[in-house]
Amino acid sequence: MSVVLVDAGGTNIGSVRYALQRLGVDASLTSDAAQIRTADKVILPGVGAAGPGMARLRELGLVDVIRGLTQPVLGVCLGMQLLCAHSAEGDTDCLDVIPANVSRFQETPDLCVPHMGWNRLSTVARHPLLDHLEEGDWAYFVHSYAVPMGEYTLASTDYGGGFSAVIAKDNFHGMQFHPERSANVGAKLLKNFLEL
């Protein structure tokens, strides 16, 4: 099985590669369109901001490449947000393969932004990506922007209200948390993705 990590400038690429290696998969880091198109699985990692992330994909000529993929694709953290239609972060048009608009958490006296640390997952819809996930399992988050709940939501998390922690539409999937930092739960979900 060939797995590629799209080299879109995300700073968590090394830790995602290491998490995959622990599962017995040596993923290639690439920005080569042909290699991405022919891979069995594609992962779009990302840490940073939506505007620079999309600018990098445009600069590499990968926007239409990613939109046209038919194999399983996984966006992680910012990568998940880039799969959506639009992000309020920098008023950025994104890949638009999942019909959602990403918005910033509203900061309150009781709610710090960014949402950072461990939080619980709650299953919303059955999907092979969530196999063996237990209600209330913990995952590790670091983000200031979130995808609202919608028909694409597979699992949610509460932080001043519910938001999408795992999403899917057709062959496109996203995890808002960092599976590579989420211990056994993250490893389990990455394994599920590799088995799709």
pLDDT digits (tens, 9 = 90+) for 160-196: 999 999 999 999 999 999 999 999 999 999 999 999 9
Instruction: Identify the architecture of domain 3-194 in CATH.
Output: 3-Layer(aba) Sandwich (3.40)
Look at residue 8 and tell me whether its pLDDT is greater than 80: no
- Angle at which helices 13-22 and 183-194 cross, to 10°: 80
Residues recognised as catalytic: 77, 178, 180
- What pLDDT, on a 0 to 100 scale, did the predictor assign at position 10? 61
Look at residue 103 and tell me whether its pLDDT is greater than 90: yes
The pLDDT > 90 percentage for the chain reads 92
Look at residue 2 and tell me whether its pLDDT is greater than 80: yes
The reply to whether omega before 109 is within 30° of 0 (cis) is: no
Antiparallel, parallel or unpaired: β 98-104 and 84-87: parallel
Task: Look at 14 and 165; give whichever has higher pLDDT.
Answer: 165
Look at residue 15 and tell me whether its pLDDT is greater than 90: no
Look at residue 71 and tell me whether its pLDDT is greater than 80: yes
Token readout for 75 is 């966006």
pLDDT average, residue stretch 144-158: 98
- What's the number of CA atoms in the CB half-sphere (13 Å) around residue 93? 2
- What pLDDT, on a 0 to 100 scale, did the predictor assign at position 14? 81
- Range from 23-32, 41-50, 71-80, 161-170 carrying the lowest mean pLDDT: 41-50
pLDDT average, residue stretch 32-38: 97
Look at residue 11 and tell me whether its pLDDT is greater than 70: no
Look at residue 139 and tell me whether its pLDDT is greater than 90: yes
- What pLDDT, on a 0 to 100 scale, did the predictor assign at position 12? 66
What kind and span of H or E run contains 19?
helix 13-22
